[in-house]
Amino acid sequence: MQHLNYNHLLYFWTVAKEGSIAKAADSLHLTPQTISGQLKTFEESIGEPLFQRAGRGLLITEMGRVVEQYANEIFSLGSELTQKVKSKQPGTQTIFNVGIVNSIPKLIAYKVLEPALQLDEPIKIICKEGDLDDLLGDLAVHKLDLVLSDRSISTELNVKAYSHELGSSELSFFGTEQLRKEYSGAFPKCLDGAPVLLPMNNHALRRRLDDWFDQEGITPRVIAEFDDSALLKVFGEGGTGFFPAPTAMKPQIEAMYQVKAIDKINNVNEHFFLISPERKIKHPAVVAITETALFSLPSIIQ
């Protein structure tokens, strides 16, 4: 197959989704004979059958599954392209695709992105959560306009992207009233042997916390580790263990999760970065976010 016939791919993809040639023909407003003939031509160009008969229905073959996976990506990208083009037309929403690293506190993500919603031009934010490597991959192929991260991009990664530091927040440990009664000693020694909830080992913040525990001579009992900061706080709300969170979010965390701050962690901050595909920021939404956040990150949270 020298060149892919996208019409043939569409016919195959529709048959795979609908489960039969008759339903695909109805969806595409074509005759079943047309679909059947084009599908046969497509299979001949590939050199393998994509479906096999099973009674009155069709079962997709192993090669068909492979082709279907690629078709899903191709037509998904086509849909994104259509949205992107439409967003440039006057009076339509600009699509703003943002990647958010799992460990970023959800409230901070909202507060950082909020200035983009205040622009005169209507904007639609599409948020995708994931780990940094996956999000950077999407940024590299222009599926994302921006990544919000708790660490800067590594120089070892072969990705053309640039980190813009937004700021940082001090951290505090939080816990339920019952936990605070059980471990009522002076901070931070009260955490020695106490149950704690921490980010996973691959998070930059976790390494800083582990170093802090060593410096303070503290060995807490790590009850659970989390990739998602919101889930960590939910476990904290249930009294499972003490947990760290940005001090700048103290009023919101105490009200939302029914916990109290014990004290601040000395010399351990959580940092926040915007990672963009361009050194000089041009996207109006990213400019609005950066200009607001650079004044003082805590001030946009409180």
**Alpha carbon distance 237, 103 (integer Å):** 17
- Identify whether residues 202 and 173 lie together within a single domain: yes
Give the lowest-confidence range in 6-10, 93-97, 181-185: 93-97
In a domain, 120, yes or no: yes
- Identify whether residues 254 and 200 lie together within a single domain: yes
**What pLDDT sits at residue 255?**
93
Q: What string of DSSP letters covers 229-294?
A: HHHHHHHHHTTS-BEEEEGGGHHHHHHHHT-EEEEEEEEEEEEEEEEES-SS---HHHHHHHHHHT
Asked whether the predicted pLDDT for residue 39 surpasses 70, the reply is yes
**Alpha carbon distance 133, 155 (integer Å):** 13
- Identify whether residues 34 and 65 lie together within a single domain: yes
If you average pLDDT over residues 56-79, what whole number do you get?
86
**What pLDDT sits at residue 223?**
96
The pLDDT confidence band at residue 89, using thresholds 50, 70 and 90, is: low
The pLDDT confidence band at residue 183, using thresholds 50, 70 and 90, is: very high
- Identify whether residues 157 and 124 lie together within a single domain: yes
- Identify whether residues 98 and 123 lie together within a single domain: yes
Asked whether the predicted pLDDT for residue 302 surpasses 50, the reply is no
Provide the residue type at 285 as one letter: A
The pLDDT confidence band at residue 301, using thresholds 50, 70 and 90, is: very low
**What pLDDT sits at residue 256?**
92
CATH of the domain at 44: 1.10.10.10
In a domain, 176, yes or no: yes
CATH of the domain at 113: 3.40.190.10
First to last CA, the chain: 59
Q: Do you find a cis peptide bond into 188, omega within 30 degrees of 0? A: yes
**What pLDDT sits at residue 91?**
55
Percent of the chain at pLDDT above 90? 40
**What pLDDT sits at residue 276?**
83
The length of the chain in residues reads: 302
- Identify whether residues 77 and 212 lie together within a single domain: no
**Alpha carbon distance 220, 120 (integer Å):** 50
CATH of the domain at 244: 3.40.190.290
**What pLDDT sits at residue 176?**
96
- Identify whether residues 146 and 287 lie together within a single domain: yes
* Between residues 204 and 45, the one the model is more confident about: 45
In a domain, 295, yes or no: yes
The tens digit of pLDDT for each residue in 168-180 reads 888 999 999 999 9
Averaged pLDDT of the chain: 85
**Alpha carbon distance 41, 39 (integer Å):** 5
In a domain, 49, yes or no: yes
196 within 8 A of 223, measured Cβ to Cβ: yes
**What pLDDT sits at residue 280?**
61
* Between residues 113 and 79, the one the model is more confident about: 113
The pLDDT confidence band at residue 92, using thresholds 50, 70 and 90, is: low
Could you say which DSSP state residue 162 is in?
E
If you average pLDDT over residues 217-238, what whole number do you get?
94
Provide the residue type at 9 as one letter: L
Q: Please list, in sequence order, all residues whose beta carbon lies within 8 angstroms of the beta carbon of residue 239, skipping any fewer than 6 positions away.
A: 175, 176, 178, 179
Asked whether the predicted pLDDT for residue 157 surpasses 90, the reply is no
- CA nearest to 254, candidates 102, 101, 107, 100: 107
Asked whether the predicted pLDDT for residue 123 surpasses 90, the reply is no
- Identify whether residues 137 and 11 lie together within a single domain: no
- Count Cβ atoms within 10 A of the Cβ of residue 63 and give its class: 0-12 exposed, 13-18 middle, 19 or more buried: middle
Asked whether the predicted pLDDT for residue 181 surpasses 60, the reply is yes
**Alpha carbon distance 112, 252 (integer Å):** 15
The pLDDT confidence band at residue 296, using thresholds 50, 70 and 90, is: very low
Print the domain residue range for 17.
6-82
In a domain, 244, yes or no: yes
Asked whether the predicted pLDDT for residue 292 surpasses 70, the reply is no
- Identify whether residues 172 and 252 lie together within a single domain: yes
How many domains, the chain?
Answer: 3
If you average pLDDT over residues 16-40, what whole number do you get?
90
If you average pLDDT over residues 24-43, what whole number do you get?
90
- Identify whether residues 158 and 297 lie together within a single domain: yes
**What pLDDT sits at residue 108?**
85
For residue 33, what is the enclosing H or E element?
Answer: helix 32-46
Using DSSP's 3-state secondary structure scheme, residue 179 falls into: helix
- Identify whether residues 202 and 278 lie together within a single domain: no
